[in-house]
Amino acid sequence: MTESTPSALTDAPLIDGFNLVVDALRRNKITEIYGVAGIPVTDLMRVAQEKGIRYFGFRHETSAGHAAAVSGYLKQWPGICMTVSAPGFLNGMVALANATTNGFPMILISGSSNRAIVDLQQGDYEELDQLQAAKPYAKAAYRIDRVEDIGIGVARAIRAALSGRPGGVYLDLPAALLPAQMPLAQGTASLIDVVDPAPARIPDGSAIDRALALLSSAKRPLVIIGKGASYARIESDLRTFLETTGIPFLPMSMAKGLLPDDHPQSAASARSKVLAEADVVLLAGARLNWLLGHGRAPQWAADGKLIQIDIEPTEIDSNRRIDAPVVGDLASSMRLLLKGLDTIPVKAPAAWCDAIETHKAANVAKMVKQLANRPVPMDFFAALGTVNTVLRDYPDIYLVAEGANTLDVGRNLITMSRPRRRLDVGTWGVMGIGMGFAVAAAVTQDAPVLAVVGDSAFGFSGMDIETICRYKLPVTVVVLNNGGIYRGDDVNRLDGQLPGVTTLSAMARYDRMIEAFGGTGYHVETVDALQRALREALSSGMPTLIDVSIDIHAGTESGHLKKLNPTSRATVPVASKA
């Protein structure tokens, strides 16, 4: 490990690694850091705070990492998570891997132990070869060994996180780097202001023409909008394109609100029908992964044609033949498609639109009937329908959603009307994003946040309600408490006195947890009480948790993913909640 030593011959002022790292971040518009303090990064966080970066200290690195990731998604600029070495670093890795999978720009910065000892495996404090460990899960991973390389290291990390398909970048800072010094003038000169880290990628004109020709020939066209479109902020051009062509659209879950869910062209309540029948589908920033049945039968028409706009060239043909690839950034691509309509006009046939309309009306009528039920104890429909009713008065709220049934039912019931307001478990279906996402949404958007989470999901990040209370953030957490993972009525088949595999405490009072940290708690058992509590909570603008008692028999095993859990035998009825 080389440490720069101050020149004995001159009195030139010096700067250390702590200050250079912070200055490099500040020069590149980093205004928040999320993390958990400890060796060797505590002073790095203090210096950041002293120099005006807002620091948010969490109770678990995974939550801090999720906060950084969703900050990246909301700001189109990397969110920063900072952790201690080995175990703290590994806790942060879940969030980093999740960010990479979802295409959220973030940088995980971890302190690391003495390289010489780590490399010879001589047993240092928190010894781990973090750089190697991070590589498979990150879009890119770098280590800065020399103080004079801090500017370049930070610049590379920012560029890697933002360019092309965004993702998670790991930046390793060995403990010895931070106190190392170099002359101030050279140090300052070594820092880099990153220029144009996410350059436009203009698709080929022929790709645009090919896509429009295919669309104009379609009898049953469909546009699927994914969170890539949401990230790229193309709502304005996208709306004009859709309204000009009349093509029906389906939003993926985090693209809900890019156009309002109640837009007449939304085909969300005829989802199965349009997927199965569309003959030309345009994918705008959505991947043909498991969330879309890989684009294959039986969910999709086997002979349908596909157009895909994506910035990542290798995404094309990844699951199914793409007939008209548009490789480019979504903003440029959508602008060109819109312009291209002047020469290649596209109009969705009325017969197709009418058929969808009829189908939607039937489904909506079914849903209205289901929502009229007000069972006690509540089920997921009653509770989430109530949340939706209240949220109509809060169109700007940021909604964080996780759980199994809570997530699935909520995705259908909770209407979004503004872009990027829905933040959820994304591509992996990862549990534990709840409190981290809520903190970052509140902090970066300066807006109220509602986290609607299952009781099981809440367990993964629940301790970070202390963080929400400590920073007095305008976050309301609604825990749909049915006493279990999926459901609360599992049994131990050997000994009925012991908990079943998916059983949690149905009598748990999560509202009392937030009271312990100075927040406000509510426990509700009816639709009316939930509605009252939620209105009070949202108008208070203060940390609140509403524990919503849900029938332990409500919900399905694995939520909508029953097919991924084919051997499930959790069908045994047991006595109801006392």
- Residue choice 482, 503, 544, 558 for contact with Mg ion (CB under 5 A): 482
Q: Which range binds Mg ion by CB under 5 A, 85-93, 249-257, 384-392, 451-459?
A: 451-459
At position 241, the amino acid (one-letter code) is F
Size of the site for ligand ADP (CB under 6 A): 23
Instruction: State the CB neighbour count (10 A cutoff) for residue 493.
Output: 10
- Residue choice 88, 105, 203, 285 for contact with ligand ADP (CB under 6 A): 285
104 binds ligand ADP (CB under 6 A): no
At position 48, the amino acid (one-letter code) is A
CA 175 to chain CA mean position, Å: 31
Q: Please state, in angstroms and rounded to a whole number, the distance separating the CA atoms of residues 43 and 147.
A: 16
Q: Based on CB atoms, which residue is closest to ligand ADP, 255 or 533? A: 255
> Rounded to the nearest whole angstrom, what is the least distance from the CB of residue 381 to Mg ion in the complex?
15
User: Which DSSP helix (H) or strand (E) runs through 97?
Assistant: helix 86-102
Does residue 344 come out as left (phi exceeding 0), alpha (psi in the -120 to 50 range) or beta? Answer: beta
Q: Please state, in angstroms and rounded to a whole number, the distance separating the CA atoms of residues 76 and 232.
A: 8
155 binds ligand ADP (CB under 6 A): no
> Rounded to the nearest whole angstrom, what is the least distance from the CB of residue 109 to ligand ADP in the complex?
23
- Taking CB under 6 A as the criterion, which residues in 298-337 touch ligand ADP? 310-312, 315, 329-330
* DSSP code at position 566: T
> Rounded to the nearest whole angstrom, what is the least distance from the CB of residue 553 to Mg ion in the complex?
12
254 binds ligand ADP (CB under 6 A): yes
Angle of helix 86-102 relative to helix 61-75, nearest 10 degrees, comes to 30
252 binds ligand ADP (CB under 6 A): yes
- Taking CB under 6 A as the criterion, which residues in 473-532 touch ligand ADP? none
**Residue 487 contact, options Mg ion, ligand ADP, none, Cβ 5-8 Å cut-off depending on partner type:** none
**Contacts for 198 with CB less than 8 Å, ≥ 6 apart:** 76, 162, 163, 166, 329
**Residue 455 contact, options Mg ion, ligand ADP, none, Cβ 5-8 Å cut-off depending on partner type:** Mg ion
| Contact status, residue 538 vs residue 448, Cβ threshold 8 Å | yes
> Rounded to the nearest whole angstrom, what is the least distance from the CB of residue 74 to ligand ADP in the complex?
14
Q: Based on CB atoms, which residue is closest to Mg ion, 245 or 482? A: 482
454 binds Mg ion (CB under 5 A): yes
Q: Which range binds ligand ADP by CB under 6 A, 140-148, 221-229, 264-272, 563-571?
A: 221-229
Strand partners, 33: 55
* Two tokens, residue 521: 């708690």
* Alpha helices, DSSP H, located in 286-427: 330-340, 350-372, 380-391, 405-413
> Rounded to the nearest whole angstrom, what is the least distance from the CB of residue 335 to ligand ADP in the complex?
12
- Secondary structure class of 558 (helix, strand, coil): coil
**Residue 232 contact, options Mg ion, ligand ADP, none, Cβ 5-8 Å cut-off depending on partner type:** ligand ADP
Q: Based on CB atoms, which residue is closest to Mg ion, 91 or 405? A: 405
Angle of helix 330-340 relative to helix 235-245, nearest 10 degrees, comes to 30
What are the C-alpha distances in Å from 6 to residues 3, 11, 183?
10, 9, 7
Strand partners, 549: 481
**Residue 114 contact, options Mg ion, ligand ADP, none, Cβ 5-8 Å cut-off depending on partner type:** none
Q: Based on CB atoms, which residue is closest to ligand ADP, 287 or 360? A: 287
Q: Based on CB atoms, which residue is closest to Mg ion, 109 or 382? A: 382
368-375: Cβ within 8 A, 24+ apart:
371/413, 374/526, 374/527, 375/551
> Rounded to the nearest whole angstrom, what is the least distance from the CB of residue 310 to ligand ADP in the complex?
5
Q: Which range binds ligand ADP by CB under 6 A, 49-57, 133-141, 286-294, 469-477?
A: 286-294
- Residue choice 88, 187, 221, 226 for contact with ligand ADP (CB under 6 A): 226
Entry field: residues in the chain: 578
* DSSP code at position 253: G
- Residue choice 115, 256, 287, 305 for contact with ligand ADP (CB under 6 A): 287
455 binds Mg ion (CB under 5 A): yes
Pairing between β-strand 79-83 and β-strand 106-112 as defined by DSSP bridges: parallel
Q: Based on CB atoms, which residue is closest to ligand ADP, 184 or 291? A: 291
Q: Please state, in angstroms and rounded to a whole number, the distance separating the CA atoms of residues 287 and 306.
A: 12
Residue ranges that bind ligand ADP, judged by CB under 6 A: 102-103, 165, 226-228, 231-232, 252, 254-255, 285-287, 289, 291, 310-312, 315, 329-330, 427
Residue ranges that bind Mg ion, judged by CB under 5 A: 454-456, 482, 484
